[in-house]
């Protein structure tokens, strides 16, 4: 240092203990983490996809092959890999199906350009090429999608059945596709066709019986609520009853617990007790005068009220879940009342038939023949509880797919057909572009082939041979040829075979996967703040835990499941 010059002070930007990693190595680490995530869910794709058994810390087991559910159950700690979890959830919320597809596509886009990143190609050029290719793909899907005429109800129902069946082909319930497809289409068509609010389709899980014992109730069904002894004396079925829905507590304790009174004489105390009884009897008389034969309430109905209603041949149910009560009101009409006074006829609902029925080991209150029925209830049966939960997830996917098909009516062929067609088109277009963008768009086109390739691999077919056949068909203009996991050829025209999917599933998957890939490519530095003092003051971790956690989060442990220890010596 030259004599006479003052020393430059050290500038501290980040708090001590902050971990930073940046540059090309960080980008490649993020890509590796995303590939590890995709490998976890890849085997669940297609009609021969395998299921995952995921056990939580509390020992609860879930069996599923839904991509969004798997990623939600896994405790993924790598910050970049969590982007794939987000796009899977977004796909599930927006269209309901294609969650595994969107994760595989995003990871494959990154895998195909990893070599270019290593060679020093700017991520911005890759992102530009991806966005151009994605726009080409979206425009092409919109140009080739088939719009089904909704004016013919028989033809349109046939379309919805095929879309539901295709959605279920990779699920546990694929052996019962015709039965459940019919049930799903009936459920969606029972909703208000303007808003198609799928939350008005109730799902109840009843262990026992077989899948074929599942029922679709055109109306509302809910499990018999907690009742007192007098409930057994109440009638168990009605024809054309009036129904009152309340948000009122019909118990003595409501008045007892909500007041404090000081008295000087026993007679004063007796007057207070009499007043409490008077209040509840006044409520019960007011309800009886409405003419209602069924009384439902969100809040408890006590033993006094239960017996009082039983003596007058009125059925009552307290503590009805809020969503069930909302669906009852939607089906039978009327509105939920928060007081027992001034209840008029327009506040009451009615239904053609009410009965309490034994289903499996449970008793259910069932309202059918409802005049305003814009709701329905699926009663699912099956052996194991985990199996019924997976049936529910599968039906949710199918319901969302049918809902999108009803709203749009545009379909494309599934089974990898549309991906192969897009790959062929983008590859041809790329050859007309000079420079690095050509390489990026060809990489995008090649990445799209991961869908038919993975379907083949999961079915035990020779993916190289089948993809070569498909490339030849698509080069000759046979745009609807895709994978056939059952036939001897391995390929077929999936449009003619009725393997149909709403085009919205594919449009959303390609745009979401492209955006996720571009987002990960745009990150070149990760800054991790130091642990807070509160965390440091906690119980001491076993030796090596901190180093192992850092390696997990840096992408060196790529299993995605923090529950499994990595094979590092620390």
| Chain segment 471-516, per-residue pLDDT in tens | 999 999 888 999 988 888 888 898 888 888 888 889 999 999 999 9
pLDDT reported for residue 401: 83
- Looking up tokens 């995921």 gives 54
* Residue 208 DSSP class: B
First to last CA, the chain: 42
Two structure tokens written together for 111? 């895998």
Tens of pLDDT, residues 303-313: 888 898 888 88
CB atoms within 10 A of CB 216: 17
User: Which domains occur in the chain, in start order?
Assistant: 19-146+413-527 (1.10.560.10), 150-212+379-408 (3.30.260.10), 220-372 (3.50.7.10)
Whole-angstrom distance, CA of residue 92 vs CA of residue 274: 57
Give the model's confidence band at 9: pLDDT under 50 very low, under 70 low, under 90 confident, else very high.
low
Average pLDDT over residues 282-297: 89
Two structure tokens written together for 329? 């009101």
User: In this model, does residue 48 exceed pLDDT 60?
Assistant: yes
Average pLDDT over residues 341-351: 86
Two structure tokens written together for 76? 């993924």
Interaxial angle between packed helices 450-459 and 99-118, expressed in degrees from 0 to 180 and rounded to the nearest 10: 120
Whole-angstrom distance, CA of residue 246 vs CA of residue 416: 52
**Cα separation values, 154 from 150, 158, 405, Å:** 9, 6, 15
**Cα separation values, 407 from 145, 196, 309, 375, Å:** 15, 9, 46, 18
Give the model's confidence band at 178: pLDDT under 50 very low, under 70 low, under 90 confident, else very high.
confident
Q: What are the two backbone dihedrals, phi and then psi, of residue 54, each rounded to the nearest 5 degrees?
A: -115, 125
Q: What are the two backbone dihedrals, phi and then psi, of residue 420, each rounded to the nearest 5 degrees?
A: -65, -40
Whole-angstrom distance, CA of residue 517 vs CA of residue 417: 23
CB 160 within 8 A of CB 188: yes
pLDDT reported for residue 12: 53
Give the model's confidence band at 569: pLDDT under 50 very low, under 70 low, under 90 confident, else very high.
very low
CB 506 within 8 A of CB 144: no
CB atoms within 10 A of CB 269: 12
Average pLDDT over residues 527-542: 52
User: In this model, does residue 543 exceed pLDDT 60?
Assistant: no
pLDDT reported for residue 276: 79
Give the model's confidence band at 567: pLDDT under 50 very low, under 70 low, under 90 confident, else very high.
very low
User: In this model, does residue 258 exceed pLDDT 80?
Assistant: no
pLDDT reported for residue 111: 93
Half-sphere exposure of 101 (CA within 13 A, CB side): 28
User: In this model, does residue 10 exceed pLDDT 70?
Assistant: no
What does the mean pLDDT of the chain come to? 82
User: In this model, does residue 214 exceed pLDDT 90?
Assistant: no
Average pLDDT over residues 445-458: 93
pLDDT reported for residue 554: 45
Tens of pLDDT, residues 347-389: 888 888 889 888 888 889 999 888 777 888 889 888 778 788 8
CB 331 within 8 A of CB 293: no
- Looking up tokens 């529910």 gives 392
Buried b / exposed e over 270-289, threshold 16 CB at 10 Å, is eeeeeeeeeebeebbeebee
CB 116 within 8 A of CB 126: yes
> Which among 29-43, 168-182, 395-409 has the top mean pLDDT?
29-43
User: In this model, does residue 564 exceed pLDDT 70?
Assistant: no
Parallel, antiparallel or unpaired: strands 201-207 and 376-382: parallel
């Amino acid at each position: 240092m030259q004599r006479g010059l003052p020393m430059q002070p050290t500038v501290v930007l980040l708090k001590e203990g902050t971990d930073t990693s940046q540059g090309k190595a960080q980008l490649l680490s993020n890509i590796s983490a995303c590939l590890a995530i995709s490998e976890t869910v890849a085997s669940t794709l297609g009609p021969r996809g395998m299921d995952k058994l995921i056990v939580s810390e509390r020992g609860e087991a879930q069996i599923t092959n839904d991509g969004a559910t798997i990623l939600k159950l896994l405790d993924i700690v790598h910050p970049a890999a969590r982007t794939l979890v987000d796009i899977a959830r977004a796909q599930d919320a927006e269209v309901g199906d294609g969650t595994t597809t969107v994760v595989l596509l995003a990871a494959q886009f990154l895998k195909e350009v990893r070599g270019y990143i290593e060679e020093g190609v700017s991520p911005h050029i890759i992102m530009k090429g991806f966005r151009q290719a994605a726009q080409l793909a979206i425009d092409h899907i919109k140009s080739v999608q088939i719009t089904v005429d909704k004016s013919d109800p028989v033809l349109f129902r046939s379309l919805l059945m095929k879309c539901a069946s295709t959605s279920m082909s990779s699920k546990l319930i694929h052996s019962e596709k015709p039965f459940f497809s019919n049930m799903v289409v009936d459920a969606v068509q029972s909703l208000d066709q303007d808003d198609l609010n799928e939350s008005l389709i109730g799902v109840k899980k009843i262990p026992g019986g077989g899948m074929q014992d599942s029922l679709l109730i055109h109306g509302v069904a809910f499990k018999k609520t907690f009742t007192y002894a007098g409930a057994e004396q109440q009638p168990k079925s009605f024809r054309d009853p009036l129904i009152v829905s309340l948000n009122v507590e019909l118990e003595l304790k409501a008045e007892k617990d909500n007041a404090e009174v000081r008295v000087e004489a026993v007679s004063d105390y007796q007057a207070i007790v009499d007043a409490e009884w008077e209040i509840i009897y006044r409520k019960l008389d007011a309800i009886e005068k409405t003419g209602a034969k069924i009384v439902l309430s969100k809040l408890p109905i006590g033993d006094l009220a239960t017996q009082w209603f039983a003596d007058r041949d009125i059925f009552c149910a307290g503590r009805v879940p809020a969503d069930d009560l909302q669906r009852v009101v939607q089906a039978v009409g009327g509105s939920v009342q928060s007081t027992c006074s001034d209840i008029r006829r327009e506040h009451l609902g009615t239904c053609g038939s009410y009965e309490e029925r034994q289903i499996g080991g449970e008793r259910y209150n069932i309202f059918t023949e409802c005049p305003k029925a814009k709701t329905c209830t699926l009663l699912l049966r099956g052996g194991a509880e985990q199996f019924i939960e997976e049936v529910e997830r599968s039906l949710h996917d199918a319901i969302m797919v049918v809902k999108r098909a009803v709203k749009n009516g545009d379909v494309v062929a599934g089974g990898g057909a549309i991906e192969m067609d897009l790959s062929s088109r983008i590859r041809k277009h790329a050859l007309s572009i000079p420079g690095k963008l050509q390489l990026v768009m060809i990489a995008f086109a090649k990445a799209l082939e991961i869908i038919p390739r993975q379907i083949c691999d999961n079915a035990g077919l020779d993916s190289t041979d089948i993809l070569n056949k498909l490339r030849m068909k698509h080069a000759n203009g046979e745009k609807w040829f895709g994978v056939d996991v059952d036939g001897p050829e391995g390929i077929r025209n999936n449009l003619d075979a009725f393997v149909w999917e709403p085009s919205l599933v594919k449009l959303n998957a390609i745009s979401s996967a492209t955006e996720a890939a571009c987002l990960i490519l745009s990150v070149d530095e990760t800054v991790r703040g130091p642990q807070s003092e509160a965390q440091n003051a906690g119980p001491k971790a076993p030796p090596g835990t901190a180093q192992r956690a850092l390696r997990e989060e840096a992408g060196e442990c790529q299993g995605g499941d923090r529950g499994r220890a990595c094979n590092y010596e620390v």
